[in-house]
Amino acid sequence: MVVGDFPIETDTIVIGAGPGGYVAAIRAAQLGQKVTIVEKGTLGGVCLNVGCIPSKALISAGHRYHDAQHSDDMGISAENVKVDFSKVQEWKGSVVNKLTSGVQGLLKGNKVEIVSGEAYFVDSNNLKVMDDKSSQTYTFKNAIIATGSRPIELPTFKYSERVINSTGALALKEIPKKLVVIGGGYVGTELGTAYANFGTEVTILEGADEILPGFEKQMSSLVKRNLKKKGNVDIHTKAFAKGVEETESGVKVSFEVNGEEKTVEADYVLVTVGRRPNTDELGLEQVGVELTEKGIVKTDKQLRTSVSNIFAIGDIVEGPPLAHKASYEGKIAAEAIAGEAAEIDYLGIPAVVFSEPELATVGYTEAQAKEEGIEVNASKFPFAANGRALSLNSTDGFLKLITRKEDGLVIGAQVAGASASDMISELGLAIEAGMTAEDIAMTIHAHPTLGEITMEAAEVAIGMPVHIVK
């Protein structure tokens, strides 16, 4: 790093190299800008290093172990199936390393300057980048803030060796015998399921009426039922965690359900109650960037903040903390800086949970459409009527297509079932392209595939289903 009072000039500086920041930097460079990206940690941010990617690797490994022990109904049985958890963690690390090194290669390939250190705004055209040894001033024309978020720490559950967040849960050196999960949202459900598949006794405490409260009840109920079927998962909804007592070998968690106080002992307690935006140590207030009371950056439809040449994307702006949302916003911000008429449209952004079965939603739900006064048809097709789902022995679930009643326009969809995370992309495309149910029904889908379920639901929507009785 260059040290001294002579600032380094750049066109666009991006703060944070997660899935929002590195994508923004690459797109800005592709559009002809001289780009510098600043990252205080590891390239790839939370998602690639301690979030999306390692969690899905752990989930995948858990599935392999569970399936090896529970495939008797397919005529497959195995004895003495073992887990070497250190090798699981080593493999998970190799997946992460491949992706983070790939990000570095992509940035260098697009001639983006990579700088390590913490960024602090001096004014609307200058910031300092500091590390343990030195600092350097950068002068910029535009800036994109993509600093992400961190897990919320509860006052009564201070993080320790036994009270852990999602990062700690992904770094455990052994499979816990017992695990308490506070928060039954997507992170808690995913990691709780992964460890349950490895044989851990899991207790989930969720304050809402159902786990996965962001999804429709008919979807989350499928997940809840499958978790209970495992025999080693205990779920308490409308439960309020009160405190934790750490012992030499674990924790004792107290919680309240229906006015009754209970306790549960475990090796660890995993706290997954949300995330807080990383906007508190950047000097934003002195530059004039407006924040909400929760530290969220206020932006317009081009992700421009109250300071016209400073943009913000990802977890630090309104909306769910999704990696693909951050990447999408990064492209919009970079294009806006380049003078293009790009602006955000969140209708086509999907949300996915890698639960059992997987859940995915995009666009409007039936309830949301009705709240906005849109008359819709909700057309469902079950996985149990699909040949590929039967051959996969994965018949739990359904696909629901939300279409506008007046013209059949696709405005939303919900999928609960195997590979829902992959199937939702076609439905997002349908919304983005302004397709109708007839367009999907007329599209020839390969047989036998789970993708046919989308076509079949569209045929239900137009009133001519083939593989279920109307």
Domain ranges (residues) in the chain: 8-151+276-346, 163-273, 357-461
- Looking at residue 4, its pLDDT comes to 52
Cβ-count burial of 127 within 10 angstroms (0-12 exposed, 13-18 middle, 19+ buried)?
buried
Q: What is the CATH number of domain 357-461?
A: 3.30.390.30
8-151+276-346 and 357-461, same CATH topology? no
The CATH H-level (homologous superfamily) assignment of domain 163-273 is FAD/NAD(P)-binding domain (3.50.50.60)
pLDDT by 10s per residue, the chain, length 470? 444 568 999 999 999 999 999 999 999 999 999 999 999 999 999 999 999 999 999 999 999 999 999 999 999 999 999 999 999 999 999 999 999 999 999 999 999 999 999 999 999 999 999 998 899 999 999 999 999 999 999 999 999 999 999 999 999 999 999 999 999 999 999 999 999 999 999 999 999 999 999 999 999 999 999 999 999 999 999 999 999 999 888 999 999 999 999 999 999 999 999 999 999 999 999 999 999 999 999 999 999 999 999 999 999 999 999 999 999 999 999 999 999 999 999 999 999 999 999 999 999 999 999 999 999 999 999 999 999 999 999 999 999 999 999 999 999 999 999 999 999 999 999 999 999 999 999 999 999 999 999 999 999 999 999 999 98
- Looking at residue 391, its pLDDT comes to 98
The answer to whether 305 and 133 have CB atoms below 8 angstroms apart is: no
- Looking at residue 5, its pLDDT comes to 61
Separation CA 252–CA 239 (nearest Å): 16
Residue type, 446: A
| Active site residue ranges | 447
Phi, psi of 242 (to 5 degrees): -110, -40
**252 strand-pairing partners:** 245, 265
Is 93 labelled a binding residue? no
- Looking at residue 2, its pLDDT comes to 42
CATH 3.50.50.60 fits 8-151+276-346, yes or no: yes
Is 184 labelled a binding residue? yes
Interior/surface letters 139-167, b for 16+ CB within 10 angstroms, e for the rest: ebebbbbbbbbebeebeebeeeebbbbbe
Is 167 labelled a binding residue? no
- Looking at residue 132, its pLDDT comes to 86
DSSP 171-231: T-SS--SEEEEE--SHHHHHHHHHHHHTT-EEEEEESSSSSSTTS-HHHHHHHHHHHHHTS
Is 187 labelled a binding residue? yes
Structure tokens at 394: 């994965």
Count other C-beta atoms under 10 Å from residue 192's C-beta. Answer: 27
Structure tokens at 422: 């992959």
Is 274 labelled a binding residue? yes
- Looking at residue 470, its pLDDT comes to 80
The model's pTM is 0.96
